[in-house]
Structure 1
Amino acid sequence: MHELIASPFLTEHVVVRPGRRQGLKIGAARYRELLTAPADSTLPGWLAQAASSAWGLDLADRRVDGALLVRAPSDLGYGRASWEINKGCDYDCEHCYLGQKNFEGLAWDDKVRMLHVVRDSGALWFQITGGEPLIDRSFPAAYAYACELGLMVSIASNGSQLSKPRIQELFARHRPYLIAVSVYGATADSYDGMTRNRGAFDRFVKGLEASRDAGLPLKLNIVVSERNAGEIPAMQALADRYGFPHHVFTTMSPTIEGGAERMGTQAADYVMPRTPFRGCNAGHTFFHADPWGKASICKVGRDPQFDLITQGLDGLRQLGDVADSLQLRTGGCSGCTLSGTCFTCRPLAKLYQEAKAPLNTYCQHGGR
């Protein structure tokens, strides 16, 4: 397995180490030097010295093919991508935005095909999510394959499987860049109630303990609902106790089909003010793929989609125009006089409108 990855990233070039957050910017000339270096040559002295300073690695006199993977440039220039390996989950969370969570997806050969498209798109940072990705039978193989292709892999998980020896062994061999773990309560009562899964809190805590002991890079996402709102300080203290950084999320959204059934879990008194929406890079430097390898601009704006298995990079070439069209104000947002300070992107506003959500959940007009 390679120690370092050299890669284009958007308009720049970087050297990164799998499983580590620190990286190095390098100039175009040095990237070309690495790209054209013979596989059996010795790593350049400047790179060995930089690796020693950044990560404490001793790469002096190491061959290129034994230490470095050089990512080829892509004319698409994507920087990030995410993939729902499967929507199936071992929890049945009352707030989940996915709605129907069927356990289905691509066959292995098509997973491999899709991962090659992700690599060839230029994406360097790659998130595997679900459902719960760690319960997918092909997750270990897909995760390891993505790492071997030179993707800096992160995982979004509920943490229920993190204490399992097979998962710990996998992450010891291929350290993830980041594991984002959702927190649903500080007690078994609230956590098990929100996930509708008895014993879930105990498995979650065991996962935190195993990850702390293994030194894995966890970040905890505290999800606030009507059920657990009174435990926000306790959930923050839980994160601090295990030494993991955390972020608090207080806004519930409709399902990706525009269903309103999850909106009732919103803790109305804890909604945080949001900043005006100034556009985003969805579809231009980032894309999302569902369990069937259908690519969209993001997890929210899922229509139209392009099949990465049959269309490959040609499908991705259409996403930029799709992204621009999906951000146009249509329907109930046409001609809005508050559009300059609106805090909700158009695809998300469309889901709220389809769910017939109260205006004050997504629109400033609701507070007037």
Structure 2
Amino acid sequence: MHELIASPFLDGYLALRPGRQAGLRLPEHKYQELQAVVRADALPPAWFAEEARKIWGLDIRDRSARSTLLVREPSDYGFSRASWEINLGCNFDCPHCYLATKKFAGLSWEQKVRLLDIMRDAGVLWLQITGGEPTIDRDFPGAYRYAYSQGMMLTVSTNASRLWNRDVLRLFRDCPPYRIVVSMYGATEETFDQFTRRRGAWNTFKRGIDAGRAAGLPLRLNLIVTNETSHEADPMAALAEAWGIPHHAYTNMTPTIYGGGESLLAQSTEHLRERKPFTGCNAGVTFFHADPHGRVSICKVGRDDQIDLMSEGIEGLRRLPGISDKLMLRTGGCEGCALSGSCRVCRPLAKQYQEAKAPLASYCQHGQSKKEMVKT
């Protein structure tokens, strides 16, 4: 299987190595040169062999280009990134989860392959596979391997409970991920098991982290800081530092995807972080999200007006930019707001908070005191 990828990306071209963060920007004529040598099964150009040696420590001088390089074809659809909930089922039962009811349901294997083919043809180069817990889906190994074979740079969001599994480790060894993002729910067994509502959760998490570190996997930790775990926020960060794993504190809870407020009860109010002003994003334009049934939305939050790719096919994606424009309009309680120019949440997220009847202070400047308003 390929060790390098050359691909269109937005308005340019990139050369990448799966499992590595570093990449190389390519001018169009050099991308086309790589296309030609792969089609001819010739040796790679000297300049590319030298770049591969310098950037990734890879010696490809005497190897045919086709044996080491996958060149992705241009796409007319303009998408470059996507996320996919392969299944909403999870082996943990955390109270902060934005998915609410975590049901095991989704596409057949044949439909999963079709969805990944659509993503490839749409231009998706970076794909995040998430859940629920993706590694407990029976089709995860095959879907991951297939997406890799199509030249996607893969991120997996996981709770690490199966990261120690021999088959999972072999999969990541054969098909290196771009990143593995692991959620951490405490620094002690008592807190971790209590929050996930699963006895033994800490032990499986720790076993997964140890296995991932030993395998040299590109781990990153999301430290989940809630009212039940906030007393271990600093110990979680200390453990991450001791393990040598990059980490980020996740502090702001959001309503469920159904507009329910039950997940907000986990919020630690003293750790509520002030968001930066929302200045726009690429949701629905160069990025999209797919749920377990192949229904596509502009992102994980803005799930209104979903497109069923299993019935519409890839042409359905052409409607996403228009849907994005509509969902981003300030409507309802936000219409005509004098503070909308400095609002800190997008309109789809504000709608979820409103449907969940969340306190204004959790998402809106109108919930702040005058003193806070002057400060910001």
Partner of 1:164: 165
Q: Mapping of 1:213-232 within 5 angstroms?
A: 213-232=214-233
Deviations along 1:242-293, one digit per CA (max 9) or x if unpaired, are 1100001110011000001111110001111111100111001100000001
| Cα distance in 2 for residues equivalent to 1:27 and 1:312 | 32
CA offset at residue 12 of structure 1?
A: 1.0
| Cα distance in 1 for residues equivalent to 2:301 and 2:314 | 21
Partner of 1:299: 300
Partner of 2:16: 16
| Cα distance in 2 for residues equivalent to 1:36 and 1:309 | 34
Q: Write the letter of the residue equivalent to 2:196.
A: T
Partner of 1:36: 36
CA offset at residue 3 of structure 1?
A: 1.2
Partner of 2:181: 180
Matched position secondary structure for 1:319: helix
Matched position secondary structure for 2:312: coil
Partner of 2:6: 6
Partner of 1:98: 99
- Is the 1:94–1:194 contact (alpha carbons within 8 Å) kept by the matching residues of 2? yes
| Cα distance in 2 for residues equivalent to 1:304 and 1:144 | 30
CA offset at residue 190 of structure 1?
A: 1.1
Partner of 2:374: none
Change (3 A) 1:336 1:194: same
Partner of 1:25: 25
Partner of 1:123: 124
Partner of 2:280: 279
What are the ranges of 5 or more consecutive residues in structure 1 without an aligned counterpart? Answer: none
| Cα distance in 2 for residues equivalent to 1:274 and 1:85 | 29
CA offset at residue 328 of structure 1?
A: 0.3
CA offset at residue 240 of structure 1?
A: 1.0
| Cα distance in 2 for residues equivalent to 1:6 and 1:114 | 22
Say what the alpha-carbon RMSD is for the aligned residues: 0.8
- Normalising by structure 2, report the TM-score: 0.97
- Could you tell me the percent identity over the aligned residues? 55
| Cα distance in 2 for residues equivalent to 1:118 and 1:33 | 25
Deviations along 1:146-198, one digit per CA (max 9) or x if unpaired, are 00000001100011111111111111111111000001100111111111111
CA offset at residue 310 of structure 1?
A: 2.3
| Cα distance in 1 for residues equivalent to 2:157 and 2:124 | 18
CA offset at residue 365 of structure 1?
A: 0.5
Q: Mapping of 1:231-310 within 5 angstroms?
A: 231-310=232-311
CA offset at residue 39 of structure 1?
A: 3.7
Matched position secondary structure for 1:24: strand
| Cα distance in 2 for residues equivalent to 1:158 and 1:25 | 33
Partner of 1:199: 200
Q: Mapping of 1:80-99 within 5 angstroms?
A: 80-99=81-100
| Cα distance in 2 for residues equivalent to 1:97 and 1:272 | 18
Q: Write the letter of the residue equivalent to 2:358.
A: A
| Cα distance in 2 for residues equivalent to 1:312 and 1:184 | 39
Matched position secondary structure for 2:310: coil
Deviations along 1:224-257, one digit per CA (max 9) or x if unpaired, are 1000111111000111111100001110011000
| Cα distance in 1 for residues equivalent to 2:57 and 2:181 | 26
CA offset at residue 61 of structure 1?
A: 2.1
CA offset at residue 65 of structure 1?
A: 1.4
- Normalising by structure 1, report the TM-score: 0.99
Q: Write the letter of the residue equivalent to 1:16.
A: L
- Is the 1:39–1:63 contact (alpha carbons within 8 Å) kept by the matching residues of 2? no
Q: Write the letter of the residue equivalent to 1:185.
A: G
Partner of 2:337: 336
Deviations along 1:338-360, one digit per CA (max 9) or x if unpaired, are 11111011000000110111111
| Cα distance in 1 for residues equivalent to 2:98 and 2:191 | 19
What are the ranges of 5 or more consecutive residues in structure 2 without an aligned counterpart? Answer: 370-376
Partner of 1:152: 153
Q: Write the letter of the residue equivalent to 2:306.
A: Q
| Cα distance in 1 for residues equivalent to 2:56 and 2:65 | 17
| Cα distance in 2 for residues equivalent to 1:15 and 1:326 | 34
- Is the 1:5–1:15 contact (alpha carbons within 8 Å) kept by the matching residues of 2? yes
CA offset at residue 48 of structure 1?
A: 0.7
| Cα distance in 1 for residues equivalent to 2:15 and 2:269 | 44
| Cα distance in 2 for residues equivalent to 1:24 and 1:228 | 41
Partner of 2:373: none
Partner of 1:314: 315
Matched position secondary structure for 1:273: coil
